[in-house]
Amino acid sequence: MRRLTIFFLMLFICAAPCMASEHDATQRAIAEYTNENYEEALSLLLAIRGKEASDPTALYYIGLCHKQTGNYEAAATSLAAALKSRSAVKDASLELIAVLINLERYEDAMEWVLWAEKNKVRPTETAYQKGMILSKLKRYQEARQALENARNGVPENDQQVDLQIAVALAEEGKIQEARASLKAIVTRYPGSEVASFVQEYEQSLAAAALRKKWSIVANLNYQYDDNMFLKSKVPGASTETRNENSGGLNESLRIEYDQPISETWSNNFQYAVQNASNFRTSSYNMINHSVTYSNIWQTDQLIIALPLNLSQTLLDKKGYSYQYAFKPAITIPFTSEHIGQVSLGASRREMLQEATSTEQNRNAVIYSGQLSYITLFAGDRGMLNLHLDGAYEHTEGYEWRNTTAKAGIDLLLPVTESTRLILTTEGSIQEYFENSSGRKDSIITASAAINQKLSSYLYLNVQYAYTRALSNVDLYDYQRNVITSGIELRF
């Protein structure tokens, strides 16, 4: 026993100089670090035990040296090791969190925030780092709450906290603006007329940006049509003898209600009515009623809209047709300015006027699809929409069965703060593959419109629309020019 005691005493005496030497080297390294000689400090620390230092303090300072010299991966490794040892250097957690933020490893950083909170490591600084991470993760409301907990009464610190809260609020505002832009795109009914889509986007964006649940848009327009009967350009092809030029009034009303259900789910209701009346003849006067209900699921990565639509058309105050449709749409925001959208749907149309023959019966099931690429610019006030559309109309009478393929470009251009220019163009090919005449139409449409804001609620609209239909059946070969001018009220 006596010999064993003497052995351990001798071992301690021999090891003591080494331990003292290692301690002295660590202290010299810390002194070099304090004097901002980071490379010299790192060399001393790595040389302590053959570049495999296990002392938590040494590991901590090795991590600090790597951080100061920009080697964040090595810094993260050393700081994590300093925290995992038995006598952990708790302050290393805040340094490690800062390094992980620089490496954009936000989830890993959040794990060490939770560790620091549990071990009560400098609570206000931990709260500040937590707020920074949550901002990076776009969880802005939680970020603001964490940053509020970072206040300590020191003016310089609290000013920095206020600055980061302001940044979080600004970023959250951008997210809300982006959500408003997306909502304006999603809530339009897939398959609506191209010219109206861009205009409705601009209208809906204004309402969504203000987070209005209700929005009402009313229009009163004078319209001049130089070919209201769609008279053929081919001499002798049409039996129509009446003057095809006509003026008229066009009134419309759209009421929209947006009902948020949760963070991701919402309902959207729309009712629209349009009345087109001609001065020359009432037989072409048309009234259309439309009701749309959409259930919408929205996240920052994906939006799914499930719209149900029911519409009815009256011609000369008599029932002409009604149609009901379901056209789900998926919208994918690649970035806040670049958006993709795809929709597929089916609808049923019933004609309320008796067909002249079984072959001419236009009751139909219509299958349709649309693919769009949308880019937003000028603070989302401008939009470019590229779209491809396809449809198959299976009518009960084989004479009207057809397929349609379309391609178009729409542009919403903010000229000034109160003036918008809307340009659209579209080309389509419509083939009646069972028609006895082998009918095939190629149709080109183009329009240009100016929307001028006169006051908070009042707008002026002027539009020119051109249509040229080329058909191998002379009766359907025509040209049309329409000029529309009027006022618009938005509430």
pLDDT for res 290: 94
Cα(339)–Cα(373) distance, integer angstroms: 6
End of a domain among 175, 208, 223?
175
Would you say residue 181 lies in a domain?
no
Are 170 and 298 part of one and the same domain? no
Would you say residue 65 lies in a domain?
yes
The number of angstroms, rounded, from the C-alpha of 119 to the middle of its chain's C-alpha atoms is 41
Would you say residue 149 lies in a domain?
yes
Lookup: tokens for 426: 């579209």
The conformation of residue 382, written as its DSSP 8-state character, comes to E
Residue 86: how many other CB atoms lie within 10 Å: 5
pLDDT for res 480: 94
Would you say residue 185 lies in a domain?
no
Cα(91)–Cα(89) distance, integer angstroms: 6
Can you count the helices (H) and strands (E) in the chain? 10, 15
DSSP structure string for 225-290: ES-TT--BSSTTS----S---EEEEEEEEEEEEEEE-SSSEEEEEEEEEEEEEESS-STT-EEEEE
Would you say residue 136 lies in a domain?
yes
Burial class for 475, CB neighbours closer than 10 Å (0-12, 13-18, 19+)? middle
**Residues in CB range of 114: below 8 A, 6 or more apart:** none
- In angstroms, the Cα distances linking 410 to 124, 306, 330, 372 are 52, 24, 20, 11
End of a domain among 141, 175, 209?
175
Burial call 195-204: b when 16+ CB within 10 Å, e when fewer: bbbbbbbbbb
Are 303 and 431 part of one and the same domain? yes
> Is the separation of the CB atoms in 280 and 267 below 8 Å?
no
Query: What 3-state class would DSSP assign to 39?
Result: helix
Tens place of pLDDT per residue across the chain (491 aa): 445 444 444 444 444 444 445 556 778 888 888 888 888 888 888 877 554 456 788 888 888 998 998 899 999 999 998 888 778 888 899 999 999 999 999 999 999 999 999 999 989 999 999 999 998 888 888 888 898 888 887 776 777 787 788 777 766 665 555 556 566 666 654 545 544 556 666 666 555 544 567 888 999 999 999 988 888 888 877 776 666 788 999 999 999 888 888 878 888 899 999 999 988 877 889 999 999 999 988 887 888 999 999 999 999 889 999 999 999 999 888 887 888 999 999 999 999 988 889 999 999 999 999 999 988 888 777 889 999 999 999 999 999 999 999 999 999 898 988 899 999 999 999 999 999 899 999 999 999 999 999 988 899 999 999 999 999 999 999 999 999 999 999 88
> Which residues, listed in sequence order, are joined to residue 329 by a DSSP beta bridge?
305, 343
Are 105 and 199 part of one and the same domain? no
Burial class for 358, CB neighbours closer than 10 Å (0-12, 13-18, 19+)? exposed
CATH number at 392 reads: 2.40.160.40
Are 203 and 157 part of one and the same domain? no
pLDDT for res 196: 59
Would you say residue 2 lies in a domain?
no
> Is the separation of the CB atoms in 67 and 41 below 8 Å?
no
Are 87 and 217 part of one and the same domain? no
Cα(350)–Cα(395) distance, integer angstroms: 10
Element (H, E) at 442: strand 440-453
> Which residues, listed in sequence order, are joined to residue 250 by a DSSP beta bridge?
221, 276
Cα(331)–Cα(298) distance, integer angstroms: 9
pLDDT for res 199: 61
Are 245 and 98 part of one and the same domain? no
Are 170 and 198 part of one and the same domain? no
End of a domain among 130, 145, 175?
175
Chain position carrying tokens 């071990």: 119
Are 279 and 135 part of one and the same domain? no
Would you say residue 186 lies in a domain?
no
Are 209 and 279 part of one and the same domain? yes
Round to the nearest angstrom and report the end-to-end CA distance of the chain: 98
Are 90 and 134 part of one and the same domain? yes
Are 341 and 385 part of one and the same domain? yes
Are 170 and 202 part of one and the same domain? no
**Residues in CB range of 4: below 8 A, 6 or more apart:** none
Burial class for 143, CB neighbours closer than 10 Å (0-12, 13-18, 19+)? buried
Lookup: tokens for 390: 């396809």
> Is the separation of the CB atoms in 331 and 294 below 8 Å?
no
> Is the separation of the CB atoms in 424 and 198 below 8 Å?
yes
CATH number at 91 reads: 1.25.40.10
Handedness of CA 122, 124, 128, 133 (dihedral sign): positive
Domains identified in the chain, total number? 2
Domain that holds residue 134: 20-175
Cα(139)–Cα(355) distance, integer angstroms: 60
Would you say residue 183 lies in a domain?
no
pLDDT for res 54: 65
